Amino acid sequence: METQQRYVLGKRDEEGFYPVTVDEIPAGTVHRRHGSWYATMPGHPVQRAADRHQAAAHLVTLIDQGNRPTGPAPAPRTPASPIEGLRATRSYSHLVPQLRLSLANLVRAAEAMARLAELGWRPLEGYPGADQPWLMQCRLCGWKGRRFWSHLRGRNSDGIPRPITRHPGCKPVSEHAQALSDLAALRTSSCPCPPFPRDKHPMDVDACLDVLTSIQAALDGKAHMSAAIHARSILEPCPAATRRATALRAAYERHVKTQRDLKAGKGK
Clarify whether residues 121 and 244 are in a common domain. Answer: yes
Q: Is residue 85 part of a domain?
A: no
Q: Is residue 70 part of a domain?
A: no
Single residue among 16, 45, 64 that ends a domain in this structure: 64
Clarify whether residues 247 and 174 are in a common domain. Answer: yes
Clarify whether residues 115 and 165 are in a common domain. Answer: yes
Nearest CA-CA partner of 48 in 70, 71, 66, 30: 30
Question: Residue 214: what pLDDT?
Answer: 93
Nearest CA-CA partner of 238 in 189, 193, 174, 177: 193
Instruction: Work out whether the CA dihedral 5, 11, 13, 14 comes out positive or negative.
Output: positive
Clarify whether residues 145 and 260 are in a common domain. Answer: yes
Clarify whether residues 250 and 186 are in a common domain. Answer: yes
Clarify whether residues 174 and 253 are in a common domain. Answer: yes
Clarify whether residues 177 and 59 are in a common domain. Answer: no
Residues 172 and 115: their CA atoms lie apart, in Å, by 21
Clarify whether residues 222 and 128 are in a common domain. Answer: yes
Clarify whether residues 44 and 119 are in a common domain. Answer: no
Question: Residue 89: what pLDDT?
Answer: 38
**pLDDT values of the chain reduced to their tens digit, one per residue, 268 residues:** 344 478 998 888 777 788 999 988 899 999 887 678 889 888 888 888 888 889 999 999 999 998 888 765 544 443 333 333 333 334 444 677 677 888 999 999 999 999 999 999 999 888 888 888 899 999 999 999 999 998 898 877 788 888 889 999 999 999 999 999 999 999 999 999 887 556 789 999 999 999 999 999 999 998 877 887 788 889 888 999 999 999 999 999 999 999 999 888 865 5
Q: Is residue 78 part of a domain?
A: no
Q: Is residue 223 part of a domain?
A: yes
Which tens digits make up the pLDDT trace of 96-117? 767 788 899 999 999 999 999 9
CA distances to 87, 199, 231, 232, 247 from 202, rounded to whole Å, are: 19, 8, 11, 11, 8
Clarify whether residues 119 and 174 are in a common domain. Answer: yes
Question: How many Cβ atoms from other residues are within 10 Å of residue 98's Cβ?
Answer: 17
Question: Residue 250: what pLDDT?
Answer: 97
Q: Is residue 40 part of a domain?
A: yes
Single residue among 12, 38, 64 that ends a domain in this structure: 64
Number of domains in the chain: 2
Question: Residue 36: what pLDDT?
Answer: 81
Q: Is residue 95 part of a domain?
A: no
Q: Is residue 234 part of a domain?
A: yes
The answer to whether the predicted template modeling score (pTM) of the entire model surpasses 0.75 is: no
Q: Is residue 81 part of a domain?
A: no
Clarify whether residues 34 and 141 are in a common domain. Answer: no
Domain that holds residue 125: 103-267
Clarify whether residues 137 and 18 are in a common domain. Answer: no
